[in-house]
């Protein structure tokens, strides 16, 4: 730790990054999402470079999961621009979805299907060839090999989280979106998720991680974006969010 207070690299009032959005893994500018009279996201700007991992931190209702759902093509934007791997999620939804691997914050699994059946379905939908060795390796990495042929209805919350990360990572996407991947996950699962993120960065993918766990976020991400009430209030180096000083700085940003 440097002992310095973290300095935001940008705030919600800053103009959009003038760099070419096609060069970024994720480019979000002026993103707004409204549900009736509620502004779930109210003008968020984000940029994730290829090979970078960015963490989204904030309280419940800050807009983290809604932003992730827009990027995954689950929720349409009400205004603004959202691109993944250079594809506009509104204008090019299929191309954008092909570029993304998405671990949702809740749901996403079929209770009466096994992990292997989930992987088979994902591979068929994405027309993957030779996917079985990677699938087996990921299941073993996440300590799910012994339950590969058990229906997920009896899985614990942590086991479901681990399987969701496996499904997101299977096709080696250009953009990896992990929403609360550490929630209820044991140390083996946390370490396996770290490895998936590091491998994605090494092959040039962009990674966006939404989590409540600041200490884990700063271990695996290079930058942290803090959302409050649907607005990005700061983007800071992960180093400045580490330790006790980082905890105090984070609380100040949420106040």
CATH number at 103 reads 3.40.50.300
Radius of gyration of the chain from Cα atoms? 18
* Helix-then-strand count for the chain, H and E: 8, 10
Residue 177 lies in a domain: yes
Total domains present in the chain:
1
Residue 3 lies in a domain: no
Residue 8 lies in a domain: no
Q: What is residue 22's predicted lDDT score, i.e. its pLDDT? A: 55
The two three-digit tokens of residue 118, written as one number:
């989930």
Helix (H) or strand (E) holding 206: strand 206-210
Q: What is residue 20's predicted lDDT score, i.e. its pLDDT? A: 54
Instruction: State the residue range of the domain holding 242.
Output: 21-254
Over the chain (255 residues), the average pLDDT of each successive run of 10 is 40 42 85 94 95 95 95 96 96 96 92 97 95 98 97 95 98 97 95 98 97 93 95 93 92 88
Q: What is residue 107's predicted lDDT score, i.e. its pLDDT? A: 81
3-state secondary structure of 144: coil
- Number of neighbouring beta carbons within 10 Å of residue 193: 26
Whose tokens are 């766990």? That residue is: 213
Residue 7 lies in a domain: no
Backbone angles phi, psi at 55, to 5 degrees: -100, 140
């Amino acid at each position: 730790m440097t002992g310095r207070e973290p300095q935001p690299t940008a705030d919600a009032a800053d103009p959009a990054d003038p760099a070419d959005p096609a060069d970024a893994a994720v480019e979000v500018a002026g993103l707004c999402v409204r549900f009736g009279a509620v502004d779930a996201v109210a003008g968020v700007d984000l940029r994730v470079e290829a090979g970078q991992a960015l963490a989204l931190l904030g309280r419940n209702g800050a807009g983290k999961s809604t932003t992730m759902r827009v990027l995954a093509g689950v929720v349409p934007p009400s205004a603004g621009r959202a691109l993944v791997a250079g594809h506009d999620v509104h204008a090019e939804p299929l191309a954008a979805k092909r570029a993304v691997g998405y671990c949702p914050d809740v749901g996403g699994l079929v209770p009466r299907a096994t992990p292997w059946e989930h992987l088979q379905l994902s591979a068929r939908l994405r027309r993957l060839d030779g996917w079985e060795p990677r699938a087996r390796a990921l299941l073993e990495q996440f300590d799910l090999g012994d339950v590969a042929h058990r229906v997920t209805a009896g899985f614990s919350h942590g086991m479901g989280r681990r399987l969701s990360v496996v499904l997101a990572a299977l096709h080696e996407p250009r953009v990896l979106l992990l929403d609360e991947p550490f929630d209820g996950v044991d140390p083996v699962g946390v370490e396996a998720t770290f490895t998936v993120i590091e491998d994605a960065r090494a092959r040039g993918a962009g990674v966006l991680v939404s989590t409540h766990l600041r200490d884990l976020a700063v271990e695996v991400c290079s930058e942290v974006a803090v959302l409050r009430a649907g607005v990005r209030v700061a983007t800071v180096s992960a180093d400045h969010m580490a330790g006790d000083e980082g905890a105090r700085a984070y609380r100040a940003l949420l106040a």
